[in-house]
Chains A and B, each alone.
Chain A
Amino acid sequence: AQSVTQPDIHITVSEGASLELRCNYSYGATPYLFWYVQSPGQGLQLLLKYFSGDTLVQGIKGFEAEFKRSQSSFNLRKPSVHWSDAAEYFCAVGAGAGGGNKLTFGTGTQLKVEL
C-alpha cells in the first residue's frame, strides 16, 4: 500500500528566508506526486505535480520540488518565503493511470511565517 510521511508537523521561518518541507513516500511503482496547500477556510490548492520526466518541477507561487527516487523523497522548496505563504502543506502520492486522482496524503506540515 502506498503511504506518505511528512516528518515535520510545524515549521516556523522568517519572511524572506528559504524553505524546505520534507516528504517521503512509499509506492511500488513510479509514483505520481503532488504538493497541495490549504489555507484556513480555503479548499486544497495544487502547487505542483510530478508524473515523469524532469525530476525538478516548478509550481505556482514560486515553489519547486525535486523527485529523488533513491531517497523516496519529494521535498518542497521556496527560496524566499512571503508572509502569505503561511498555511498547511500536504504532500500526496497518486495511484497512477488506473486510479486517476485517488490520492494518499501525508498528515501535513503547518507553516508559520514570522515577520
Chain B
Amino acid sequence: GAGVSQTPSNKVTEKGKYVELRCDPISGHTALYWYRQSLGQGPEFLIYFQGTGAADDSGLPNDRFFAVRPEGSVSTLKIQRTERGDSAVYLCASSFAGANTEAFFGQGTRLTVV
C-alpha cells in the first residue's frame, strides 16, 4: 500500500491478556516510530527503530511493553499483562533516515482493555 498500515484498527482485550499490534511502514522507510495517544492528549513517543534495531526506547512505560522489527520493515508492539490504563490509540509512523524528513503516520490501533 501507499501509506503506513496498522492492524487491527480496533482491539478489545481483557485485563491481564497479551496483545500484539502490527505496523507496516511505507516501503523503503528505514525509520519507524511508535506513539501512544490517550484520550484528550497528544501522541507520546514510545520507541524508535532505525532498521532492525531500537535506536531509542526511552518512551516505553515499563517492561510490559516491547517492540520488534526483525527484518527492518514490519514492526510489532507487544503488551503483556494488559492494564486498563493501557487503553489508548497506538500510532505508528515511518520515514526515511535523518531528521530533515517527514514522518508519515498510520491511522492507529485503538486498544481498549476491559
Contacts and interface: CB of A to CB of B under 8 A. Distances in A.
Interface residues of A, number: 28
A89 B28 CA distance: 28
A63 interface: no
Contacts, number: 73
B95 interface: yes
A96 B93 CA distance: 17
Contacts of A108: 41-42
Contacts of B103: 46, 101, 103
A105 interface: yes
Given A43-B4, A43-B106, A46-B103, A100 B95 contact: yes
Interface of B: 3-4, 31, 33, 35, 40-45, 48, 50, 55-56, 91, 93, 95, 97-108
